[in-house]
Amino acid sequence: MVRHFLRDDDLTPSEQREVLALALAMRTDRFARRPLDGPRSVAVIFDKPSTRTRVSFQVGIAELGGFPLVIDAGSSQLGRGEPIEDTARVLDRQVAAIVWRTAGQERVEAMAAAARVPVVNALTDQFHPCQVLADLLTVAQHREAAGGVDALPGMTLAYLGDGANNMAASYLLGGATAGLHVRVATPAAYVPAPSVVADAEAIAARTGGSVLVTHDAVEAASGVDVLATDTWVSMGQEGEGSAREAVFAPFRVDAAVLALAAPDALVLHCLPAYRGKEITAEVLDGPRSVVWDEAENRLHAQKALLTWLLERS
């Protein structure tokens, strides 16, 4: 059976642990695994801009022995309306996997339904599961003395900001899968999709984690092990910028919010960051921030994910 990674809960808790453990090992022995030797190719398609995702998949596929075939949708027939299913049929005879950043989740689902190779979600409007895999790896890396991946269950993560965006949804699903206590603090008009909260709650009930959606940043940040945020203006929302700044201002991650967290709390931001908006420069560039490790961990997490998916498909 072909395995895809379209949302965070496409990996079971034990599968997610396997991928994270492999990623931790690949951090230290970067060139040990070459599942794409040949080279076999992987298509990496972008319908939206990217720096980290583009670089980490392109470098990672090369490091796995493969050839990264990076396609900007605007310069392909997919961008001119060729059906997703036809694109899948053309690609899957030539590539070992398809990685796609696009808008609607239904688009990666359609690609996965038609393709006979693994499809990986490189960000949709609804989910950003590769990012949260890298975020969990970053927490495990910084808690290696406490057990690494084994230290994740029971930890508390608070996400402050846009609760309706892809990062909030992926923290809920991916965090619950890891057994985290996930708190999302967001304005009432920006709560996560009820179906995502329900799915995260069902996962958390099995993993020992929990889910809290609140409108109170202080309640969310108090005592947490991990404090996370994301831009208030996601790709495609640029026209709503100033209205969003006013409503999200009480959810900014600043020194006062960080002071509420555990003394050794880690600060995550998927980047790109907007200093002075969702996070202050003092916190982003401060001693608790692990955002550069987090960005590097996209490489290790995705190499492990591709290796794992290819071995099972």
Residue numbers belonging to the annotated binding site for L-ornithine: 166, 230, 234-235
Report helix, strand and coil shares of the chain as percent, to nearest 5. Answer: 50, 15, 35
Position among 112, 123, 137, 258 found at the interface with ligand CP (CB under 6 A): 123
How far is CA 294 from each of CA 8, 287, 289, 298, rounded to the nearest angstrom?
17, 14, 9, 7
149 φ, ψ to 5°?
A: -60, -35
* Closest distance to ligand NVA from the beta carbon of 125 (Å): 7
For residue 245, the tally of other CB atoms under 10 A from its CB is 15
Closer to ligand NVA by CB, 7 or 128: give it.
128
Size of the site for ligand NVA (CB under 6 A): 9
Q: Which does 166 bind (CB under 5 to 8 A by kind): ligand NVA, ligand CP, none?
A: ligand NVA
For residue 107, the tally of other CB atoms under 10 A from its CB is 17
Closer to ligand CP by CB, 12 or 51: give it.
51
Element of type H or E holding 85 = helix 84-91
Q: Which does 183 bind (CB under 5 to 8 A by kind): ligand NVA, ligand CP, none?
A: none
Closer to ligand CP by CB, 87 or 131: give it.
131
* Closest distance to ligand CP from the beta carbon of 238 (Å): 14
Please give the full DSSP string across 69-84, using - where no structure is assigned.
EEEEGGGSGGGGT--H
39 φ, ψ to 5°?
A: -85, 145
Name residue 156's beta-bridge partners: 181
For residue 184, the tally of other CB atoms under 10 A from its CB is 31
> Helices 13-28 and 291-312 sit at what angle, rounded to 10 degrees?
120
Q: Which residue has the tokens 């990666």?
A: 108
Q: Which does 231 bind (CB under 5 to 8 A by kind): ligand NVA, ligand CP, none?
A: ligand NVA
* Closest distance to ligand CP from the beta carbon of 52 (Å): 4
Rounded Cα–Cα distance for residues 216 and 205 (Å): 24
Q: Does 236 bind ligand CP (CB under 6 A)?
A: no
* Cβ proximity of 96 and 66 under 8 Å: yes
Binding mask 49-68 for ligand CP (x = CB under 6 A): -xxxx---------------
Position among 16, 138, 156, 165 found at the interface with ligand NVA (CB under 6 A): 165
Q: Tell me the residue number closest to ligand NVA, measured at CB.
A: 234
Rounded Cα–Cα distance for residues 256 and 215 (Å): 17
Binding mask 224-243 for ligand NVA (x = CB under 6 A): ------xx--xx--------
**Residues identified as active-site:** 101, 128, 131, 230, 270, 298
Q: Which does 51 bind (CB under 5 to 8 A by kind): ligand NVA, ligand CP, none?
A: ligand CP
* Residue list for the binding site for carbamoyl phosphate: 50-53, 77, 101, 128-131, 270-271, 298
Binding footprint of ligand NVA on the chain (CB under 6 A): 128, 165-167, 230-231, 234-235, 270
